[in-house]
Amino acid sequence: MESNFSFLAEHFPVLARFGQQAERYWQSDANTCLMKLGMIGETVVQLIYDIDDIEHPLKDDAVHRINLLEREGYITQDLTAILHALRKKRNLAVHESYESVEDCKVLLPLAYTLAEWFYETYGDYHYEHRDFVPPEVMEAYETAEERRKEAAHDEEVAAKAIESASAERLTREKRQKRANLAAAHRYKSEAETRLLIDEQLRRVGWEADTQHLRHSAGTRPQKGRNIAIAEWPTRTGPVDYALFCGEKMVAVVEAKAEYKDVSAVLDGQGKRYATVAEGAAPYAVGKWGDYQVPFTFATNGRPYIEQYKEKSGIWFQDLRDPMNIPHALHGWVSPDGLLALLKHDKSEGEKRLAAEPYDELRDPQGLNLRDYQIRAVEAVEQALADGQTSMLLAMATGTGKTRLVLALIYRFLKTRRFRRILFLVDRNVLGSQAEDTFREVKLAELQTLTQIYNVQGIADDAAIERETSVQIATVQSLVRRILYQEGESMPAVTDFDLVIIDEAHRGYILDRDMSEDAALYRDQRDYLSKYRNVVEYFDAVKIALTATPALHTTQIFGAPVFTYSYREAVVDGYLVDHNAPIHIETELSTKGIHYKKGEQVAMIDPETGELLNGAQLEDELDFDIDDFNRKVITENFNREVLKEIARNFDPTEPSQGKMMIFVANDQHADLIVRLLRELYEGMAPADAIRKITGTIENGNQKKIREAVQHFKNEAYPSIVVTVDLLTTGIDVPAITTLVFLRRVKSRILFEQMLGRATRLCPAIHKAAFDIYDPVGTYAALEKVSDMKPVVTNPKETFAKLLDGLEEASLAADSALRQKRLSARLGRFTGRLRRKSKLLDTSQDKEAAASFAIEGTAPASLTAFINAVKDMQPEQARTVLLANRAAIEALESIHRTRKGIVIDDHTDKVTRVYHGYGEGETRPEDYLESFTTWVRENRDKIEALRIVCTRPQDLTVQDLKSLRKQLSALHFTERQLSDAIAGGDGAAVTADIISLIRRATIGTPLKSHEERIHGAVSRLIDELRHHGKLTKPQENVLRKIEKYFLADENYVIGMQMFRDDSRFRRDGGQPRYDRIFDGHLAEVIDKLNTYLYDDYDDGGKSA
């Protein structure tokens, strides 16, 4: 009988040899058979590495070699499972003399289908599948010595397998396409499905082995063991698996071949098997109608795919309530998870949560949440009560999202609404910061969350512990454990019933330093895909938080259930506003940098940082401000800018706060640190200035966290230079100055950068922060309102795009076809145009010569693109596909890599100015636009009319609403006051009432502080003069003054004794009326009169 593996002999004789040996030994020597099968898998992996010239992983063992191939897209998840199964059995055979004819019987067909896939991918693409034929039983006559020699020879043969292999060399993209096509139509039997399910169940805590743990083999439930017993008998026949937690039968599982739909299985076999056989009744955990098993599952072993829900995933139904509908899970439930589902009563938890008061959240000695944070908690709990399973909170940076998360976690655990919570971050630094908050903030009975509950911190990258209530983890660690399944176990979908996601906007993966493990992602789409897979893996409620929702954020989590914007927070006094951005112009930034033909220039390699040999320019070369610190490093520009900034910032003076400088890359950061240390030499220690990027301390995360903590808590460094590591989530309230020495194209990233300086810092009396913008970042992004991800997929190849034009989905003649075709053509021509810009003139001309439109070559690649854009979609598609070879050849044409130019042109500052409002205008234009708006809207907006006629009648809501409306138009007290002072910095910041009255009727400016202090002092002096002032009365007036000073929205009136809890706690209006001998209303009315006395306009405003 011919070997099943003989088809390999021509191209891969070593694989054919091992296959034939495995067939020969499968009955007579199962131990040797398992070794040979393992060698098939090992040789396949090594051949892939050798043929495609793939770099081996740092940890170069069998496990990591296999996992890297899946990560890089060379093999699919099901092939990974086969390779690991062969590897594990070989290890047992080699190291423990393990043997099992049953295992050989299962693994031989799997090794065969693996070999077929490999042959189709690397050998003959036109190979056609042949069914595996079970080999005949053959006697093995070799002696032990002969087998030992054969094994040694096989090791030598395996090591040289590439020498005898005959494989076609392909590009990575073509290889991956061929591999995926071969994998897609690879035959997968029900036995293979069982093997995959066994492994999946084992990884989440079940004992599973279809070959050995079978009812027919005598396997029965046992106390202390969680067993998946195969072929368990029921009233309607044996079920594929029965899951037992100890002696409790908690679920049944029906396994189907991969090509079968699985969703419908639950309605038939899944429910029938949940009625157990009479002899098994003692194992039943209850009775729910006809069912004696509470949970049922169906699967075909395929990972969950959204587009193929019915044919993938693990379908699950809770049979205890007929209202529960089946749904697909992304992974398996653990034994603890099923027991928890049995015990957990969600409805009781919801009742306890609804009845839980909010008093603890307001405790000044504890969480001390602000009003908007309480409203956010209420919004989340209401959404939960309404049945929402995914919620998004959009709250400005610096408004206390971590403390809000702590409040939610505490309430959910206290009321047992959720049993275990995952707090997901995307950087170790953010996880450590959250852990510190959980460890420090006092909750019930002055205990912290970590004292009340078991919190597994960011450093514990191990499996979840049974007693853990909260785990803090990074996205990267879960990508490794869930998607790449590193280690022998993996999280179960029921490990957490609530997932809270911090910084949920993450969408600019291509910015440097974004994560500690960027190698996990190939591009932004890859990042978002893995990010989404991790978030959606758990069968849990999701709560996401962000300051800057992006399109993909709302696609995953839905529209925000609560929003608290930066403008609202500034108006409410919880964040500080920024001063008008300071622009620094130099000769080079305004005139640009110009090199003449023949000049010698120095360049630096942007990847290695090495200095390249200078060369004479063959043509003129120009750079403008957009290119500064990206394409050209001009030390003199940076020096002049920093010199101007240094005039206004003393790094040794704590009251000035701290400075953060955003730069283009790591080399640029080093340059800025050096220049600053030179500028401050003799005035500030070197430690005052430091670079903090992902490369410091050789990337050691602990050391990086320590550097961030030093920046936050110590006097030095007071100036930090960063690329992207500190752009989000880092809480350093003392930052008072931001410097942009790099252009930023992402609105999301820009707002996150601004958010580093918005926090209050009473210790240094921080009232606002400064923005230095010498490269025009603020001006470029200030008008942008839509928050969109930065890129789509910069590494999408022409081959993939052309395949998209050929896809069957474009074949139907319909409106949808035209829509899809137009969209793909637009993406394609955009990609072509970007490529054309990367080619020099000669390359462009040479490439164009390979193209043709109706037999004629275009003059240039740009001409070809323009011609295609002018065509009807069908014609454009035909022309592009006809030019496939020429288009794909563009991938191999690269402009000679240019280094970053190192410029030494002299430079000097020519102008420093503030840019006011939305248009970055001059002070006088800004004030004129404010005056015009106020006068035009005075009779249209009620609050404006009150300000101009009788400001003492304003309510808190009137004043807040007006300030928010003005803020939305970029009219803020600070910028208006500064503009009035001529842009040199106002001596005082006038309040909004003063500013509006000045614009309409010319009354003098007064600050908030001046107004209240003057009014209270005047009233106290008057009462004292008439001998009517008592000490308790003076104390009350000073208390009102204190409250008014602390809140620019505070309105004085009798309502404050009713609405302000601080007055209510002291007895409210009755007590204070007694203090003023029944004349409280008269005193408050007089105080209000004095507050606005200086606004008397003699009736002009009437």
Report CA dihedral (960, 964, 965, 967) to the nearest 10 degrees.
140
Q: Does the residue 772 lie in any domain?
A: yes
Would you tell me how many other CB atoms lie within 10 Å of the CB of residue 74? Answer: 20
Reduce the secondary structure of 768-793 to three states and give it as a string: EEEEECCCCHHHHHCCCCCCCCCCCC
Give the whole-angstrom CA distance, residue 33 versus residue 100. Answer: 9
Residue 789: predicted pLDDT: 26
The token pair that represents 676 in the structure block: 């600053």
- Report whether 938 contacts 948 (CB < 8 A): yes
Domain that holds residue 835: 798-892
The token pair that represents 65 in the structure block: 């070699």
Q: Does the residue 786 lie in any domain?
A: no
Residue 721: closest CA among 670, 656, 759, 775: 670
Give the whole-angstrom CA distance, residue 181 versus residue 227. Answer: 37
- Report whether 376 contacts 562 (CB < 8 A): yes
Q: State whether 364 and 242 are in the same domain.
A: no
Give the whole-angstrom CA distance, residue 407 versus residue 422. Answer: 14
Give the whole-angstrom CA distance, residue 61 versus residue 787. Answer: 44
Give the whole-angstrom CA distance, residue 488 versus residue 68. Answer: 16
The token pair that represents 1043 in the structure block: 């409250």
Residue 806: predicted pLDDT: 75
Give the whole-angstrom CA distance, residue 299 versus residue 120. Answer: 28
Residue type, 1001: I
* Partners of residue 930 on adjacent β-strands: none
Q: Does the residue 822 lie in any domain?
A: yes
Give the whole-angstrom CA distance, residue 691 versus residue 723. Answer: 9
Q: State whether 499 and 622 are in the same domain.
A: no
Q: State whether 213 and 166 are in the same domain.
A: no
Residue 664: closest CA among 732, 730, 745: 745
Residue 211: predicted pLDDT: 84
- Report whether 743 contacts 589 (CB < 8 A): no
Per-residue pLDDT tens digits for 374-406: 999 999 999 999 999 999 998 888 888 889 999
Give the whole-angstrom CA distance, residue 38 versus residue 890. Answer: 42
The sign of the torsion formed by the CA atoms of 920, 925, 926, 930 equals: negative
Q: Does the residue 129 lie in any domain?
A: yes
Q: Does the residue 201 lie in any domain?
A: yes
Give the whole-angstrom CA distance, residue 598 versus residue 592. Answer: 19
Q: State whether 947 and 1049 are in the same domain.
A: no
Q: How far is CA 439 from CA 408, 457, 750, in A?
A: 15, 10, 31
Q: Does the residue 788 lie in any domain?
A: no
Give the whole-angstrom CA distance, residue 544 versus residue 320. Answer: 31
First to last CA, the chain: 110
Q: State whether 1001 and 1062 are in the same domain.
A: no
Cα 884 to chain center, whole Å?
Answer: 36
Task: Identify the residue whose tokens are 């029900």.
Answer: 190
- Rounded to whole angstroms, the maximal C-alpha distance in the chain is 124
Q: State whether 628 and 551 are in the same domain.
A: no
pTM for the structure as a whole:
0.69
Instruction: For the chain, give the number of residues.
Output: 1102
Q: Does the residue 792 lie in any domain?
A: no
What is the SS3 assignment for 455?
Answer: strand
Task: Identify the residue whose tokens are 């404050």.
Answer: 1056
Task: Identify the residue whose tokens are 């004794």.
Answer: 1057
Burial of residue 508 (CB within 10 Å: 0-12, 13-18, 19+) is: buried
Residue 795: predicted pLDDT: 45
Residue 472: closest CA among 447, 444, 453: 453
Residue 600: predicted pLDDT: 55
Would you tell me how many other CB atoms lie within 10 Å of the CB of residue 258? Answer: 20
Sites in the chain below the pLDDT cut of 50: 507-528, 607, 609, 611-613, 784-795, 808, 811, 897, 986-987, 1095-1102
Give the whole-angstrom CA distance, residue 504 versus residue 483. Answer: 19
Q: Does the residue 908 lie in any domain?
A: no
The contacts of residue 854 (CB under 8 Å, 6+ apart) are none
Cα 1084 to chain center, whole Å?
Answer: 52
Q: How many domains does the chain have?
A: 7
Give the whole-angstrom CA distance, residue 410 versus residue 448. Answer: 10
Q: State whether 314 and 362 are in the same domain.
A: no
Residue type, 792: T
Q: State whether 201 and 171 are in the same domain.
A: no
**Rg of the chain on CA atoms, in Å:** 36
Q: What is the CATH number of the domain that holds 249?
A: 3.90.1570.30
Task: Identify the residue whose tokens are 């893996």.
Answer: 537
737, containing H or E segment: strand 735-740
Give the whole-angstrom CA distance, residue 361 versus residue 370. Answer: 9
> Within the chain, how many helices (H) and strands (E) appear?
44, 28
Q: State whether 371 and 326 are in the same domain.
A: no
The token pair that represents 356 in the structure block: 């839980």
The contacts of residue 152 (CB under 8 Å, 6+ apart) are none
Give the whole-angstrom CA distance, residue 783 versus residue 778. Answer: 9
Boundary (domain end) residue, out of 727, 746, 781:
781
Listing DSSP states for 36-101 in one string gives: HHHHHHHHHHHHHHHHTTPPPPSS-SHHHHHHHHHHTTSS-HHHHHHHHHHHHHHHHHHHH----H
Residue 228: predicted pLDDT: 96
Q: State whether 249 and 365 are in the same domain.
A: no
Q: State whether 138 and 201 are in the same domain.
A: no
Boundary (domain end) residue, out of 322, 343, 364:
343
Give the whole-angstrom CA distance, residue 1068 versus residue 573. Answer: 25
Strand order from edge to edge, sheet including 611-616: 611-616, 600-604, 900-903, 632-634
The token pair that represents 853 in the structure block: 């439109």
Boundary (domain end) residue, out of 158, 184, 210:
184
Q: State whether 693 and 615 are in the same domain.
A: yes
Q: How far is CA 264 from CA 123, 298, 305, 309, 314, in A?
A: 39, 9, 17, 11, 12
The token pair that represents 878 in the structure block: 């035909």
What is the 3-state composition of the chain as percent helix, strand, coil, each rounded to the nearest 5?
Answer: 50, 15, 40
